[in-house]
Every structure is written in C-alpha cells, then in structure tokens.
Amino acid sequence: MRVCLVASILLLTQCYNDTKWKLNCPATCYNGPLGTRNVGQCREGIPECDKEQRVLRCVGEVHPTKEVCNSKDDDCDGFRDEGIPVNIIPCLSVGVCRGTVHSACDYGEYQCIWPINYEDPEVSCDGLDNNCDGVVDNVDTNGAFCFDHPEWWRATHPPCQVGIISCGGCAGQVLPGVEVCGDGIDNDCDGYPANRIVGWLDVVIMMDPSGSMCPFIATIVSAVVDYITTMQNQNIRWAVVNISWQGPLYYEVVQDFSDAATTISTINASTCTGAGFEVGLDVLYELCERRLLDWQNSGVLIGFTDEPLIGLISRTPMEYIDSCVANDITPNYWARHRLPIQEIVEGAGGSYYTISTNVPNLEEQLQLTITQCD
C-alpha cells in the first residue's frame, strides 16, 4: 500500500513503503589488528547477529598472542618463533662446549646449539672431549669387547679377560702369558694352572677301532684333535696305537712318536671298522714296560674302549701298577666297564672316566691328563 503525506508547512511530500529496510548479517568477522587476519595462528570468526541483523559477537576469531617457541606464528606477523629469548635451558659447558654453546629455539623446541666438533656419541680419537662429558677421547663403542689373541676362548679362563675397545686400543684386556711351574696360576689361560711341560713328555693315544666303537669314534676324534691342538706348542711327542687288531699281536702301532700336526692327521683318519680282541691290558703293560715304541721321556697313556679290557697273559692289577709307576708312565682310560682298568689306572696315578658322546666333557677330562710341570 502506498501512503503519501502532504506537509503543508514544509511543502514536502514523503512517500515510503511500510516495510522496514532490511540489514544482512556478514559471513565472517575479525576484530584483531589490521593486517593479521588469517595470518599465522590468527583466524577470522563467525558473527552472531540479533534479529535486526546487527553483529553481537564474533565467535571463534583468534587474535595475535606473544610469540613462544612452538614452531608457530603466534603474533601473526608472518614469521615463526622469531625474537625468542636464548639460553632458556642449560647446556653442556666443558670440553669443546666450553664457551661455545648456547640454547635457542630451533624447530619449535629449545635446543642447545653445539659447536661443529661436538659428537654424541664421541667417535673421534683426537685428544678432545668431543661429547663434553669431561673425559678426553671417551669414545663410545657400545661396550664392544676386544681380545688381541687368536684364541678367544682363553679369555674365559682367569686371569685372562676381555677388554673394551677404546682410543688407546683394547682397554683392560689381560692376555695369556707363559705358564710358570708351581705358581698355581693359569698363566696361559687354558683352564689348567701350571701345566707347562718342562723338558719333554711322550703321550700315547690308545684307540679301539672295533665296530662297537662307532657310536663314540666321532666324539673321540673331535675331542682328541682339539686337545692336541691346544697342547701343540708344548714339549710333547705323540704316538697312536690300536688296541684291537687282527693278527698275531692283536695290536697295531699306527704311529710312533711324532709331532702334533702329524698326530692330528692320524687321529682324523681313525675309523671303527676294525675287528679282533680288545687286548687292552696286554698293550697297557707293554707300553708301561716302555716297549712297542721309541720311548725317550716320561709318559702319559690315553686309552679309549667300549669293551671290557682283557689280557692274554694273566697278571694281577698290582703288576700293571708297579710297571707303570716304576717306568714313570701315567695311564688314563675312558671305558664302559670299570673292572679291572679303574683300579689299575688310579693305582698308577691316572684317571678313569666313563666313555660318552659328550665332546665338551671329554675335552675337559683330557685337559686333566697332563697337569705336571716338573
């Protein structure tokens, strides 16, 4: 409906619609400083208007704040973490860090700014404390062990011990020395104190090559070879005799006294394909009488069999014992039947063991057969 009013005094005519002028509520709003809208952390908000469409408040807008170390542009000036105070956190101050290190905001965190020769972990052997722990060349090897000897196993026997890799080499290691007779110390770290042979010693390996020894032959060969290897630098001559053989003597001299390398080859060739009588007692007596071989020194016998030891000639155990003792020969035997061999070898100062397929046990027992150093 159109309404016209005539004002006679003013002579003006005003015509208007009776519908009110309508305002629009804006889509966004921002009341922060000029130039910061949607810069950095600053964000415009959503206006909340009254029924007259007038803005009452700006919901969700974010204004500039003080810059802090968080890798964000808090003051909305287009730069992150600028103007942050330094030396907020403590830093190392010894070694190469002395007088050269300060803390600053770096990628949103307070961090120490290290010199170019700082190392963590320290890896350089340069006479400097590169990791600033107060110790020069404290190289971190992650506890890596070292032992400057080709036979590492000796490090497991005191007084030998491993060391720790360091700039100075292998710190703290103790290496094998020369065995000293009678001092009670395992100087060469082989697990057996004072077993350096002074002068020379003749050692005879007595093998039973019969078929019944097949379950044991591999164990014996392995342990005896390892044993001879550990003793190869000692003053020892080695011989090998088979105690079971086909023939009028029922034994075989496989190898007369020779060096360790030759004997290792002989032992490695041992088999369990022979046959005959295990006349171990007769062979033992002949050896203790210093026959069959080219004897020159004190002797040690090391015998293996899985059968009862027999002799074609009847002798009492004491006859065997007296013969071995009188001729300075110490017998040792690994067998399955104790009688009569245990009484004989122990009576003559040697040892008896039950034969088995346990290589470590046999190796340890073999080491006990030679402990004298006189």
Task: Look at residue 246 in the predicted model and tell me its pLDDT.
Answer: 67
Task: Look at residue 8 in the predicted model and tell me its pLDDT.
Answer: 40
d(CA 273, CA 45): 99
| Full-model pTM | 0.52
Task: Look at residue 4 in the predicted model and tell me its pLDDT.
Answer: 45
Residues of the chain with confidence (pLDDT) below 70: 1-22, 140-143, 181-183, 193-198, 245-249, 275-276, 371-374
Query: How do residues 150-183 score in pLDDT, each as one tens digit?
Result: 999 999 999 999 998 888 788 899 999 987 766 6
Query: How do residues 339-364 score in pLDDT, each as one tens digit?
Result: 899 999 999 999 999 999 999 999 98
Task: Look at residue 233 in the predicted model and tell me its pLDDT.
Answer: 80
Rg (CA), the chain: 48
d(CA 121, CA 101): 17
Domains of the chain in start order, with CATH, are 85-140 (no CATH), 141-192 (no CATH), 201-367 (3.40.50.410)
Residue 180 is which amino acid? V
CA 346 to chain centre: 42
Q: Which two tokens stand for residue 87?
A: 């030396």
Task: Look at residue 231 in the predicted model and tell me its pLDDT.
Answer: 87
Which contacts qualify for 100-108: CB closer than 8 Å, 24 or more apart? 101/132, 105/69, 105/81, 107/71, 108/69, 108/70, 108/71, 108/72, 108/81
Task: Look at residue 122 in the predicted model and tell me its pLDDT.
Answer: 85
Average pLDDT of the residues of the chain: 86
Query: How do residues 247-264 score in pLDDT, each as one tens digit?
Result: 666 788 999 999 999 999
